[in-house]
Amino acid sequence: MTERPDGIIVLTAIGAGLTRDMDTFGSQDPYCVIRVGEREFKTEVDEKEGLAPKWNKVFEIEWFKEKVVEVEIMDEDPGSDDLIGKTVI
């Protein structure tokens, strides 16, 4: 039997105003990762905006009374992506 959620949370990854470029050559390719409990949600990579990415992605997430939501901004790179910034809600 599947556990029923306690509700739905709606999170919108609008965009970011980044202060540093993680790439030495070319421009960075940022994306947003949201973690709620053990579940992970990602935006598309914004390959055009560099330091001012825009995602406008809405996530409707089942809520099971998790107490922490983690938000990370990552830079997509071949091999291993770089962490640009992180916060906890």
Measured CA to CA, the distance from residue 49 to residue 46 in angstroms comes to 6
Q: What b-and-e string marks burial along 54-68, b requiring 16 or more CB atoms within 10 Å of the CB?
A: ebebeeebeeeeeee
Write down the CATH number for the domain with range 7-88. 2.60.40.150
Task: Retrieve residue 20's tokens.
Answer: 């540093």
78 vs 71, which has greater pLDDT? 71
Query: What is the amino acid identity at position 73?
Result: I
Listed residue (4, 18, 12) closest to 49, CA to CA = 18
Is the predicted pLDDT of residue 67 greater than 90, yes or no? yes
Q: pLDDT for 1-56, tens place per residue?
A: 578 999 999 999 999 998 888 777 777 899 999 999 999 999 999 999 889 999 99
